Amino acid sequence: MKEYLDRIKNAEELCWINPCRVPAAEGLSQIDFSADDVADAEARLERFAPLIMHYFPETRGDGGIIESPLTELEDMKAVLNEEGARLTGRLFLKRDSDLKVSGSVKARGGVYEVLKHTEDLAIENGILTGIGDDYLKLASEEARKVFSRHKVQVGSTGNLGMSIGIMSAALGYEAIVHMSMDAKQWKKDLLRARGAIVVEYEGDYGAAVEQGRAESDADPMSYFVDDENSAALFLGYAVAAGRMKRQFKAQGIEIDQNHPLFVYLPCGVGGAPGGVTFGLKLLFGDNVHCFFVEPVNCPCMLVGLETGEMNNICVQDIGLSGRTEADGLAVGRPSGLICQMMNLLMAGEFTVDDSRLNEYLRKLYKSENLYIEPSACAAFIGPATISIDEDAKRYLRQNELEDKMADAVHVAWATGGSMVPQYVRNELLRG
């Protein structure tokens, strides 16, 4: 433990293998959520599809379902290998960067939680007679008058605030987003343009969440989206797994013992990668290997798991700054809810230095003509080092994966990017 903690304190890039991971079936049996909960979440999103199309016409081509492409990256794989990655198998990008409504992975969990709250409120107020009713009623003048009396609040470094603020304001709520110092200015500007109220803080993510929660708790007409403890967010993220499985099937890709799946998930507080990991483990069991990725100066999930302190410790407690260019990952303390589950399920973690983020961004754009934001680019440290890092190689050896890597599938999860303004893109691409 001391060896890894010293390396973490020194802000070193590393691969950490989770010593507490158990077989998938055993881990899932100890978790309070089930496949039925994920199916319920997916059914709810389908019920809301007509309303989503009404407010967000860009989703009509997908029937009101907010989903992202799964794109193979043959040229980016070649670029990584030219730099010494020695990556075999196939490399894909799960482009949650292109999710409609808010352009990030948070358009899954964040949008889902707002919709679930709206369904509950609508049934409670007699706007809907039940789940079989016409959900376009929620766009009526009567419904919007009810929603306008209510607030939806959230604390965020950026992307969760975007999804909550955009969807809540569209439905007619008073949307209030409490944003930390790490949040990018363009995200604040966009939220205000969409009708949300943005409250800015000089403190970090934790300060924004704490104040937002306190203000919401003091108002009986306010609903707080709690990124650290929300079951609804978690299940909204988990829906992604079944959809990606269908995308694999459409591309003729099998995931099994001889064709393992490696998924690299950028991590902030942990909700999005945790939900995705849970969903994937339900479907693929021990044939999927999920690695979280965090900045070297802000690896809150890694610190919580490696020390065993879970959410009782923050990165500043071990001398790290918590500052990173990866704004979506700038979280000093992890979710306790997610820590407990991922302690059982996740394969491990990679940490990445900020200097790599814009390098990966430019290489992806040049090789594949795809743009994702710096936070999302963190995912590429996984495929870049899975075959060369000594700890990662030990993981492959211990899990009898070495001779299966030629048939492996690697997925870098692109967590955001499509809503980045062109002037910001130009700056980042220039370096």
Residue 390 is predicted with a pLDDT of 97
Sign of CA dihedral 143, 149, 155, 159: positive
Residue 36: partners with Cβ closer than 8 Å, 6 or more residues away: none
Closest CA to 233 of 109, 128, 115: 109
- Please state, in angstroms and rounded to a whole number, the distance separating the CA atoms of residues 209 and 292: 22
Q: Which amino acid is at 257?
A: Q
Q: Over the stretch 396-424, which tens digit does the pLDDT of each residue have?
A: 999 999 999 999 999 999 999 999 999 99
- Please state, in angstroms and rounded to a whole number, the distance separating the CA atoms of residues 204 and 332: 8
* CATH number for the segment(s) 106-231: 3.40.50.1100
Residue 116: partners with Cβ closer than 8 Å, 6 or more residues away: 41, 44, 232
Residue 1 is predicted with a pLDDT of 60
State the chain's mean pLDDT as an integer: 96
80-87, Cβ contacts within 8 angstroms, sequence gap of 24 or more: 80/380, 80/383, 80/384, 83/384, 84/388, 85/383, 85/384, 85/385, 85/387, 85/388, 86/387, 86/388, 87/383, 87/384, 87/386, 87/387, 87/410
**What is the rounded average pLDDT of the residues 372-399?**
98
Q: pTM for this one?
A: 0.97
CATH topology identical between 2-102+237-430 and 106-231: yes
- Please state, in angstroms and rounded to a whole number, the distance separating the CA atoms of residues 408 and 88: 7
pLDDT band at 204 (very low <50, low <70, confident <90, very high): confident
Q: Over the stretch 251-275, which tens digit does the pLDDT of each residue have?
A: 999 999 999 999 999 999 999 999 9
- Please state, in angstroms and rounded to a whole number, the distance separating the CA atoms of residues 143 and 86: 56
* CATH number for the segment(s) 2-102+237-430: 3.40.50.1100
Query: Measuring CA to CA, how many Å separate 206 from each of 57, 88, 222?
Result: 35, 40, 20
Residue 278 is predicted with a pLDDT of 98
pLDDT band at 182 (very low <50, low <70, confident <90, very high): confident
- Please state, in angstroms and rounded to a whole number, the distance separating the CA atoms of residues 165 and 178: 10
pLDDT band at 157 (very low <50, low <70, confident <90, very high): confident
Closest CA to 282 of 251, 310, 250, 255: 255
Query: Measuring CA to CA, how many Å separate 38 from each of 172, 183, 248, 280?
Result: 27, 30, 19, 11
What is the 8-class DSSP label of residue 214? Answer: H
- Please state, in angstroms and rounded to a whole number, the distance separating the CA atoms of residues 312 and 204: 17
Q: Which residue has the tokens 């603020």?
A: 165
Q: Over the stretch 32-84, which tens digit does the pLDDT of each residue have?
A: 999 999 999 999 999 999 999 999 999 999 999 999 999 999 999 999 999 99
- String of b and e for 153-191 (b: at least 16 CB within 10 Å)? bbbbbbbbbbbbbbbbbbbbbbbbbbbbbbbbeebbebb
Q: Over the stretch 90-143, which tens digit does the pLDDT of each residue have?
A: 999 999 999 999 999 999 999 999 999 999 999 999 999 999 999 999 999 999
Query: Measuring CA to CA, how many Å separate 382 from each of 233, 289, 292, 339?
Result: 25, 11, 9, 20
Query: Measuring CA to CA, how many Å separate 49 from each of 42, 65, 244?
Result: 11, 6, 19
pLDDT band at 3 (very low <50, low <70, confident <90, very high): confident
What is the 8-class DSSP label of residue 420? Answer: S
Neighbours of 26 (CB within 10 A): 11
First to last CA, the chain: 37
Are the C-beta atoms of residues 183 and 155 closer than 8 Å to each other?
A: no
Give the H or E element holding residue 289: strand 288-295
Question: Got the DSSP string for 98-160?
Answer: G-TTTSBTHHHHHHHHHHHHHHHHHHHTTS-SSTTS-GGGGGSHHHHHHHHT-EEEEEESSHH
Residue 206 is predicted with a pLDDT of 84
pLDDT band at 153 (very low <50, low <70, confident <90, very high): very high
Q: Residue 431: is its pLDDT beyond 80?
A: no
What tokens does 211 get? 């104040």
Domain boundaries, the chain: 2-102+237-430, 106-231
- Please state, in angstroms and rounded to a whole number, the distance separating the CA atoms of residues 259 and 249: 13
